[in-house]
DNA sequence: ATGTATGCAAACCATTTGCAATGAC
DNA sequence: GTCATTGCAAATGGTTTGCATACAT
């Protein structure tokens, strides 16, 4: 499942993490690298529970406390993006070498789709802000997915009768 | 503090809320209108605790359960936007007639600034998605505010020595 | 050796839920 | 009168914290 290119990414992010830990004088523990490694093996969005179970199944079990601690570090050094799409549940995804995409969130069924709008991406990246050094951004577009839009239209028609 | 224009907005959102409640066959309780009214009196971002205290101080005390219930309705009918900037605390703001703005979030001190990028706003609104009917969107730009950027640069220079 | 990081379990706290009482329809 | 909505208090559940132990430096 891991191509040569993916292996390279594993190495690159490991190195970036090392640089960060060194710069901040944090310790380079095997737990931290094991977590980073697992995250960059699976490309999907994930939440804490999923990650915790995946770590447990792998040969490297870590406590929830360590997971939260490490995720904070990874977010701080821009290797992981943390989303909160409502529901008080954090959803994470890789930040490095992740194809740029936005998120379409259905306000009715709460399903999340990824959306690649290259024109939009360019526009955002070209934007220059005073007094702020942007590193990354999240664009959440709320609305109705085609299924819910159809469903609600049907309902409204019934109400009119 | 409320200009004539603001009074108009109060009326308009009240009417929009009424339409929604009617369409959904929900009841038009005084609690719900009192909450909407307070939200459209104060233009700032706010969280539940702030709103709860503000309601308590006003002549209309409501329970937390009712607040949460009503906020959900207001979000559903696009009169209120719910943000989650991390920290497991929802932050709300008016949606109707609110000047379009994005949010700059400092990943170091977590301070939030508003940012108006008209070019960007236009680009997002012109975007057309297949199989999705967008109603509104949030653009969160993460990075370093000028204060933190300076601070961290100073720190890095010290580490190099 | 020193003190940071881990694991565990308890604490925290925003939000949700269950249920009796209220009041919109 | 009926049943959705409210208020209250207890429950929920993701996240954080305190502390003893382990281990990176």
Task: Tell whether B98 is within 8 A of chain A (Cβ).
Answer: no
Task: Tell whether B156 is within 8 A of chain A (Cβ).
Answer: yes
Mean pLDDT on A140-151: 85
Residue with tokens 């697992």: A38
Interface test with A, best of B132, B150, B153, B161 (most A CBs within 10 A): B132
pLDDT tens, position by position, B91-140: 999 988 877 788 888 877 777 888 887 777 787 778 788 888 887 788 88
Q: CA of B160: which chain A residue's CA is closest? A: A23
Q: What residues does each domain of chain A span?
A: 1-98, 99-161
Residue B15: closest CA among B77, B91, B92, B86: B77
Tokens of B65: 């359960």
Q: Is the pLDDT of residue B59 over 70?
A: yes
Q: Would you state the pLDDT for residue A1?
A: 52
- Chain A and chain B share a number of CB contacts under 8 A equal to 118
Mean pLDDT on B12-17: 97
Q: Is the pLDDT of residue A156 over 80?
A: no
Which own/partner contact pairs does A39-42 have at CB distance under 8 Å and 24+ positions apart?
A39/A74, A39/A80, A39/A92, A39/A94, A40/A6, A40/A9, A40/A10, A40/A13, A40/A94, A40/A96, A41/A2, A41/A6, A41/A10
Which residue has better confidence, A37 or B134?
A37
CA distance A108 to A87: 13
Q: Is the pLDDT of residue B20 over 90?
A: yes
Residue with tokens 């995804």: A93
Phi, psi of B69 (to 5 degrees): -60, -50
Tokens of B150: 């300076």
Which residue has better confidence, B5 or B28?
B28
Considering A144-153, B87-96, B120-129, B148-157, the range whose residues carry the highest mean pLDDT is B87-96
Q: Which of B86, B117, B136 sits opposite A84 (nearest CB)?
A: B86
A39: pLDDT confidence band, cut at 50, 70 and 90? Answer: very high
Q: Would you state the pLDDT for residue A15?
A: 97
Q: Would you state the pLDDT for residue A118?
A: 76
CA distance B150 to B100: 29
A107: pLDDT confidence band, cut at 50, 70 and 90? Answer: confident
CA B27 to C1' D3 (Å) is 11
Residues of B in contact with A76 (CB under 8 A): 107
Which residue has better confidence, A143 or B74?
B74
Level-2 CATH architecture, domain B99-161: 2-Layer Sandwich (3.30)
Inter-axis angle of helices B4-24 and B30-39, nearest 10: 140
Q: Is the pLDDT of residue A160 over 60?
A: no
Task: Tell whether A120 is within 8 A of chain B (Cβ).
Answer: yes
Q: Which of A60-64, A69-73, A89-93, B16-20 has the lowest mean pLDDT?
A: A89-93
Task: Tell whether A89 is within 8 A of chain B (Cβ).
Answer: no
Q: Is the pLDDT of residue A28 over 90?
A: yes
Mean pLDDT on B68-80: 95
User: Which CATH number applies to A1-98?
Assistant: 1.10.10.10
């Amino acid at each position: 499942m891991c191509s040569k290119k993916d292996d390279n990414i594993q190495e690159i992010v490991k190195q970036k993490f090392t640089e960060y830990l060194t710069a901040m004088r944090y310790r380079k523990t095997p737990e931290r690298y094991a977590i980073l490694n697992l995250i960059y093996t699976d490309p999907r969005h994930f939440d804490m529970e999923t990650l915790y179970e995946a770590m447990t199944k792998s040969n490297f079990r870590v406590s929830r406390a360590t997971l939260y601690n490490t995720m904070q570090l990874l977010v701080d050094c821009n290797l992981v993006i943390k989303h909160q799409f409502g529901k008080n549940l954090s959803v994470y995804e890789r930040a490095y070498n992740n194809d740029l995409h936005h998120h379409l969130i259905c306000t009715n069924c709460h399903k999340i789709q990824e959306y690649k709008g290259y024109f939009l991406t360019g526009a955002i990246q070209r934007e220059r802000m005073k007094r702020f050094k942007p590193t990354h951004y999240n664009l959440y577009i709320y609305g109705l997915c085609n299924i819910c839009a159809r469903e609600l239209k049907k309902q409204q028609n019934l109400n009119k009768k």
